[in-house]
Structure 1
Amino acid sequence: MALYWYRKAADQGLVNAQTELGDYYYGQDGVFQSIEKLKQAVTWYKKAAEQGNDYAQYSLAYCYYNGKGVDTNYPEAVKWYRKAAAQGYDAALYELGQCYYEGNGVAKNYQEAVKLFRQAIDKGNEDAQLALAECYLYGRGVKKNLDKAIGLYQPLADKGNGSAKEGLRNVEAARRAPAIDRAQNQYYNTIVRKYGAKAANAMLNGRPYVGMPEGVIRDFVFVDGDGIAFNAYGFSRLVQGYKLYLPTTRLAIYIAAGNIKAPRWIYCQRGRVSAIKW
């Protein structure tokens, strides 16, 4: 009966009834809805959007952006996001900023994205707050500023926001990156001088090769999370409960930096690497 009366009102042009019908046909985020119902949702959102309803304009744009009930059409999504954003609809301001950030439907423009994110934040949009924090983290559209990134992430992280917590971890990784890079470069050059570029590249990528001189394994260096460099012997003693085997026969390599993959065991015989176990 509710659907019956909503349709009666919607057919007479009542905007609120049209948006209610759009939401009804769209359902739970459109995930389990049939294409026929999603098309109905688009029809009603469009009727309300054309009458200037900001929520309907945002919803229609979302459908175009994500291909819900219509073919994906970024320029058309931008058109309707822009209309809703002009009325101050916070989610539309954020989504339009994302269009500029990703270059979908418009030319990529980080500065414009930042401008829109800030406007959305002023209206309390937390997604925009995360997005602006990322801009400061990577220096996109603004000068890189890790302190400002923390200032945006921290309040959300304190509320339990998982994305904000991940952002704080990325900030910490960015703080460590220069020290890690310096240590890696220092030891890479050391390996080049002692054993050649092939061995150094293998070391840097965590990919020893059969036939590699055992001396490279003894000098096989990596960097831990604090940017401190260790060779395999030194670090194996720091791992709690770790057993150090005779290095000339079986050597355990442990890589703490997540971007470097290393084998579990390297077998050495007669001064050469004879087998590698990943």
Structure 2
Amino acid sequence: MHTLPPGFRIDEYEIVRVLGAGGFGITYLAFDHNLDGPVAIKEYFPADIAVRTDDARVAAAAGRSDVFAWGLDRFLREARAIHRLRHPSIVRVHRYVERHGTAYIVMEYVEGESLASILESRGQLPANEWGPWLDRLLDGLAHVHNHDYLHRDIKPANIVIRAADGEPVLIDFGAARVASQQRTHTQVLTPGYAPFEQHTSEGAQGPPTDIYALAAVSCHVLTGEPPPNAPDRMLEDGHEPLAERVAGAGVRWLKAIDDGLELRSEDRPQTVTAWRAALNETGLQPLDAAEIEKLREAASRDDPQALAQLRAEARAGNPEAQFVLGEMCHEDDMYVDHDEAVKWYRKAADLGHPGALFRLGEQRDEKEDSAAALAWYHRAAVHGHVEAQFKIGSLYREGIPPDEEAAEEWLHKAALQGHVGAEFILGTILAAGYNGLAVDGYDAVRWLRKAADHGHAGARFTLGQMYSHGKFVPRDLVVAHMWFTLAENAAARAAKLEIEPYMTSAEIDQADRRAGAYPGASPEE
């Protein structure tokens, strides 16, 4: 595969690296020099009918000009239409560009971990963990279908769990097309996730096509492997019903997923709305987090009925109830029982509860078992648990095991979610360039400012030092004095006394006024 090299420019976009490649095209990570941020770019490069020339142009292979031109026209028409999609569970398309004999779709770059990567490391996920993500993806898929489009390539690699909030995002619409177009002459598919109609150029495709793919993803998530390839199933169906293979989930819910895996398109749910109705038809639903918290508050007031209901909910397999019981046994004076806390934490952790996974990591950390703590923290961090991400970054910084690049990566994940300690440490790492990491003054100041805005005294003191010495910022004693005043600690007070002889009374008064008007919260260490 002849990919574009790092540094290659397409207008304001500079190629950084390849994110993925398939038969339909190549996806790159690029840097947008106009907006000063990352983007993903999908290049139209159908490998079986295209070649790249020495000057980076894309041309049709010999005898394939008509097919190449037809596909390029489709690619552009669909890019224009997909641009209208706006949903938190759908990657956003910014624009399309025609250059170098081909076309490029410029998309939002979703920072996070792909579902494929998660499954590679964990094998499979419990139903209660996958269920909420599936529901979010159904929201997004319904939005796509409501705009008369199909995705046509739903698979674990095209689902990213966004680092900022732990929510799933459907990416890579390079294979999408108009749903009302009943026939297609392009074969875009991934074996195991593509229904039978995608394996033939004459197959009628519609919403049931995407439903099959998302049901196949669900099968993979819940069992550790996708269903057999659709043409193989037509000869001899080796797919075993999920209800016979998956524990900890409602039989009707699992049956609804199997309904989405029916081989004949007309036998599947015909719309996302219909499929969701079948998935939600599971009898009594477990209590949600808000209801569990009300029970906890009542139980803490010595309400035996609330405690009994909480225990019943936990025994029924509600991970939030199990976690809350663990918290009560861990920290509530009325119920303290550390062995009982661990029992409930482990039950909730087995069902993927991030808070329980984090607590088990903390317990190993307290016993100075850093390797075990790191393993628990990693499992919690996968679900976006910000404190776990911070702990992982801290452990790597402490050298358990030593890995400064990994420390920066995990602290960055936590900082993106607003963790003030991660913002501060990330700023100091980027300012100092520890252990060979590149110094980045711009980002160092940016993260320190975020931590300072969140009330971190250390960040405010560090910014004061930067402005007093002119490090990464213009030297400005008024601003330095303001930050030292806001830090309100002994070191900052001493630093103020050092710079005040070099300031006029008017400048000191100005700095004090700016500090008094600063909207930040009270300092936190």
- Distance, in Å, in 1 between the alignment partners of 2:495 and 2:474 is 17
Q: Which residue number in structure 2 is paired with residue 138 of structure 1?
A: 469
- Out of 344, 358, 363, the position equivalent to 1:24 is 363
Residue 3 of structure 1: aligned partner: 342
Residue aligning to 2:448: 117
1:164 to 2:495 alignment: no
Contact kept? 2:458, 2:487, Cα under 8 Å: no
> What is the distance in 1 between the residues matched to 2:498 and 2:486?
16
- Give 1:253-272 correspondences, 5 Å limit: none
- Where 2:407 maps in the other structure, the secondary structure is helix
CA contact (8 A) 1:42 1:60 kept: yes
- Residue aligning to 2:354: 15
- Percent identity between the aligned chains? 31
The residue aligned with 1:129 is 460
**Where in structure 2 are there 5+ consecutive unaligned residues?**
1-339, 504-525
The separation in 1 between residues aligned to 2:352 and 2:438, in whole angstroms, is: 36
Residue number among 417, 426, 432 corresponding to 1:102 in the alignment: 432
Q: Is the 8 A contact 1:82 1:92 kept in 2?
A: yes
Which residue identity is paired with 1:143?
Answer: P
Match of 2:414 among 52, 62, 84: 84
Task: Kindly indicate whether the alpha-carbon contact (under 8 Å) linking 1:78 and 1:106 is maintained by their aligned counterparts in 2.
Answer: no
Assess, with a 3 A threshold, how the Cα gap between structure 1 residues 11 and 162 changes in structure 2: closer, same or farther.
Answer: farther
What SS does the corresponding residue of 1:164 show, helix, strand or coil? helix
Contact 2:386 2:414 in 1 (8 A): yes
Partners of 1:163 and 1:48 lie apart in 2 by 36
CA drift of 1:4 comes to 2.2
Partner of residue 483 from structure 2, selected from 138, 148, 152: 152
* TM-score, scaled to structure 1: 0.54
Task: For residue 79 of structure 1, report the CA deviation from its aligned partner.
Answer: 0.7
Sort the Cα spacing of 1:122 and 1:43 in 2 relative to 1 into closer, same or farther, 3 A. Answer: same
Structure 1 residue 15 displacement after superposition: 0.3
* Alignment equivalent of 1:73, drawn from 400, 403, 408: 403
Matched-pair contact (CA < 8 Å) for 1:153–1:165 = yes
Give the 3-state SS of the residue equivalent to 2:472 in structure 1: coil
Cα pair distance change 1:170/1:7, threshold 3 Å:
farther
What SS class does the counterpart of residue 474 from structure 2 fall into? coil
Structure 1 counterpart of 2:382, from 50, 54, 64: 50
**Alpha-carbon distance, 1:165 to partner:** 2.3
Q: CA deviation at 1:106?
A: 3.1
Deviation by residue 1:2-38 (Cα, 9 ceiling, x = unmatched) = 12221221122110011112222223xxxxx53xx22
Higher strand content, 1 or 2:
2
The answer to which structure has the higher helix fraction is 1
Aligned partner of 1:40: which letter? A
Map residues 239-258 of structure 1 onto 2, 5 A cutoff. Answer: none
Question: In the aligned structure 2, how far is the partner of 1:66 from the partner of 1:137?
Answer: 30
Shift of the alpha carbon at 1:168? 2.2
CA RMSD of aligned residues (A): 2.0
1:162-202 residue CA offsets vs partner (Å, 9 max, x unmatched): 232233244358x39xxxxxxxxxxxxxxxxxxxxxxxxxx
- 1:29-67 CA-to-partner distances (Å, cap 9, x unmatched) read xxxx53xx2222211111111222111111110110112
Letter in 1 for 2:356: A
Tell me the matched-pair count.
163
**AA aligned opposite 2:384:** G
**Equivalent in the alignment of 1:231:** none
Cα distance, 1:114 vs structure 2: 0.7
Q: In the TM superposition, what is the alpha-carbon distance from 1:149 to its structure 2 partner?
A: 1.1
TM-score computed with the length of structure 2 as normaliser: 0.30
- The residue aligned with 2:297 is none
Preserved CA contact (<8 Å) 2:414 2:422: yes
1:111 positional shift:
2.2
2-structure distance, mates of 1:125, 1:6: 32
Contact persistence 2:461–2:484 (CA under 8 A):
yes
Deviations 1:209-257 (Å, cap 9, x if unpaired)? xxxxxxxxxxxxxxxxxxxxxxxxxxxxxxxxxxxxxxxxxxxxxxxxx
* 1:140 match: secondary structure: coil
CA contact (8 A) 1:15 1:51 kept: yes
Distance 1:155 1:112 in 2: 21
C-alpha separation in 1, matches of 2:432 and 2:374: 24
